A and B are shown apart, each in its own frame.
Chain A
Amino acid sequence: MTNLATNFAGLKLKNPVTVGSGTYGFGSEYKRFYNPNILGAITSKGMTLNEKEGNPPGRSIETPSGMLNCVGLQNPGVEFFAKEHLPKLKEDGCTVFANVAGKDVDEYVEIVRFLDSTEVDAVEVNLSCPNVAEGGIAFGTDPKVVEEVTRKTVAVTSKPIIIKLTPNVADIVSIAQAAQNGGAHGISLINTLLGMSIDTKKRRPVLSNTFGGLSGPAIKPVALRMVYQVYPHIDIPIIGMGGIVNSQDALEFIMAGAQMVAVGTGNFVNPLACQEIIEGLEMYLEENDIEDINQLVGIAHK
């Protein structure tokens, strides 16, 4: 018998596979393909304190081996999530990571405090949003701010806090260490890379927000490099993501040091991607006579 079960930040999960926030809605959308409770965890769409409308149409475009999006955090607000979506996910037997974002530190704290009284299993704090107080620079680009947001959110909840980092920085290791210093229970690597596309017929940017986040296989080498770079320098577990579309990709992230993997754009490429990745990991263990998936975490460093 092989073991896919993993322990992530104190949570016992049936396997190390979750989904990238914002690519899986609130769990019900993919039910027509398989039961979402087969996943180690479901990571929700990013949520803010109040409902957010998001950006105007012109939110996505395919690029070579990837896609750009500028959804702009459209979401119904955290309270609506807790009332409408969370009970259904729990009824289905899902482990739920709630992804959250705030416009300032206080909003992050308030959302996490609110979620503490709900049934979510962990909170993934998205630090890729523009920080209004710092003049629009993303929270996740300054180690001091990362540590502050982490410390203040950890303080208001008993749930594990996972800090999700942006790759749009020069030194990812120092940012990851800042999250650990702030008391984070885990980190997610990576969010999308900033990019753009121009419509040559209209002679204008394609996306309504001009810039958007690049995701999919195009960013996999960058994401993998960051997981590999950060792994030896922190003691908290990593959720690796960025371009994972099959079990081969997932294995690379695990071997680079990811305790869990998340499938984002891969769900759009193949709605059965997560299911096939879980099966593929199992098969890899069997074929290679490995008992426990956890034996592979970080193995590429040895």
Chain B
Amino acid sequence: MLTGKVEKNQFLADDIFEMEIKYSNLSAKPGQFINVVCDGKLLPRPISVCQSKKESFVLVYKVVGEGTKWLSKRIKGSEIRFSPPLGRGFNLDIKNKKIAILGGGMGIAPILSVAQALDKADVFLGYNNDEFLHDKFPNKIYKSFASEGETVIDRFVNSKVGKSYDYVIACGPEGMLKALQQVCKEKNIPGQISIEQHMACGVGACLVCNCQTKHGYKLVCSDGPVFPIEEVVFND
């Protein structure tokens, strides 16, 4: 396990926090995650690396239970223990395509570094209420708010530009990814999505994080968390 010190831990919106951790050269690829040790919880919590800088990195997380609540209480100077970057990130070897990047809710965090690497791509952000991280994207941004009755998929489908993309990258709740998969199937658009599953080891040893794909079960921690959008089979 690695150890870093909290540099910043601030409230962003809707129980969502941004934590900057001092640690040199974590060098996580966009889409990779780290396993964070949370005191009082047995298993570490997988959190995507939102931004990886030279002397620090940033996590953006939502408080949903005891582990993330503990994280939200860490103050500047506290020690945080974590694993090296895990999982396969996004394949960004797609630069000559017309790309749409979609993030829904907490799914906005993992796609920030993708969008920064692909600054020509357009970004669709789906918020519940208050916006966060929007000012960090160098791209053209389209926002939607669930509180106003519009999902990020509605926005993507209804926007005039929505018709002209030939590649998508997305992260968000299962329902959003499922809806996007349907849209992409109809329009024959390929892409990559990052998905979640409860984990234990994070390295492919325990087999608890399986997801159904067209080619049988795959492991979210080591085969993913990023998969081709057409490959994942969602439950009804």
B206 touches which of A23, A32, A62, A66 (Cβ 8 Å): A23
A155 interface contact, C-beta 8 A = no
Given contacts A56-B212, A59-B210, A71-B206, contact A272 B1 (CB under 8 A): yes
Q: Is the CB of A61 within 8 A of B198?
A: yes
B42 touches which of A53, A74, A269 (Cβ 8 Å): A269
Residue of A nearest to B198 (CB): A60
Q: Which residues of A contact B202 (CB under 8 A)?
A: 268
A271 touches which of B83, B198, B204, B222 (Cβ 8 Å): B83
Q: Which residues of A contact B41 (CB under 8 A)?
A: 62
A108 interface contact, C-beta 8 A = no
Q: Count residues of chain B with CB under 8 A from any CB of chain A.
A: 27
B205 interface contact, C-beta 8 A = yes
B211 interface contact, C-beta 8 A = yes
28 pairs from A and B in contact (CB 8 Å cutoff):
A22-B207, A23-B201, A23-B205, A24-B205, A25-B205, A25-B206, A25-B207, A30-B203, A30-B205, A32-B84, A53-B217, A54-B217, A57-B235, A59-B209, A59-B210, A60-B206, A62-B42, A66-B42, A71-B206, A74-B210, A74-B217, A265-B42, A267-B205, A268-B44, A268-B200, A268-B206, A270-B1, A271-B203
Q: Is the CB of B204 within 8 A of A29?
A: yes
A179 interface contact, C-beta 8 A = no
CB distance from A258 to the nearest CB of B (A): 22
Q: Which residues of A contact B43 (CB under 8 A)?
A: 62, 67, 268-269
B208 interface contact, C-beta 8 A = yes
CB distance from B141 to the nearest CB of A (A): 32
| 8 A Cβ contacts from A1-60 to B | 22-25, 29-30, 32, 45, 53-54, 56-57, 59-60
A67 touches which of B1, B200, B205, B209 (Cβ 8 Å): B200
* B interface majority secondary structure: loop
CA distance A158 to B222 in the complex (A): 37
CA distance A107 to B204 in the complex (A): 27
Given contacts A54-B217, A66-B42, contact A29 B201 (CB under 8 A): yes
Q: Is the CB of A271 within 8 A of B1?
A: yes
CB distance from A56 to the nearest CB of B (A): 7
A69 interface contact, C-beta 8 A = yes
Q: Which residues of B contact A268 (CB under 8 A)?
A: 43-44, 200-202, 206
| 8 A Cβ contacts from B168-201 to A | 197-201
Q: Is the CB of A29 within 8 A of B205?
A: yes
CB distance from B219 to the nearest CB of A (A): 10
Best-surrounded residue of B198, B199, B235 (most CB of chain A within 10 A) = B198
Q: Which residues of B contact A265 (CB under 8 A)?
A: 42, 200
Q: Which residues of A contact B204 (CB under 8 A)?
A: 25, 29
6 additional contacts (CB under 8 A) given A268-B202, A271-B201: A23-B206, A29-B201, A29-B204, A62-B42, A74-B210, A272-B1
A182 interface contact, C-beta 8 A = no
Given contacts A30-B205, A74-B207, A271-B1, contact A217 B217 (CB under 8 A): no
Q: Which residues of A contact B208 (CB under 8 A)?
A: 59-60, 69, 71
Q: Is the CB of B42 within 8 A of A267?
A: no
B216 interface contact, C-beta 8 A = yes
CB distance from B42 to the nearest CB of A (A): 6
CB distance from A139 to the nearest CB of B (A): 22
CB distance from B31 to the nearest CB of A (A): 18
Q: Is the CB of B211 within 8 A of A57?
A: yes
Q: Which residues of A contact B235 (CB under 8 A)?
A: 57
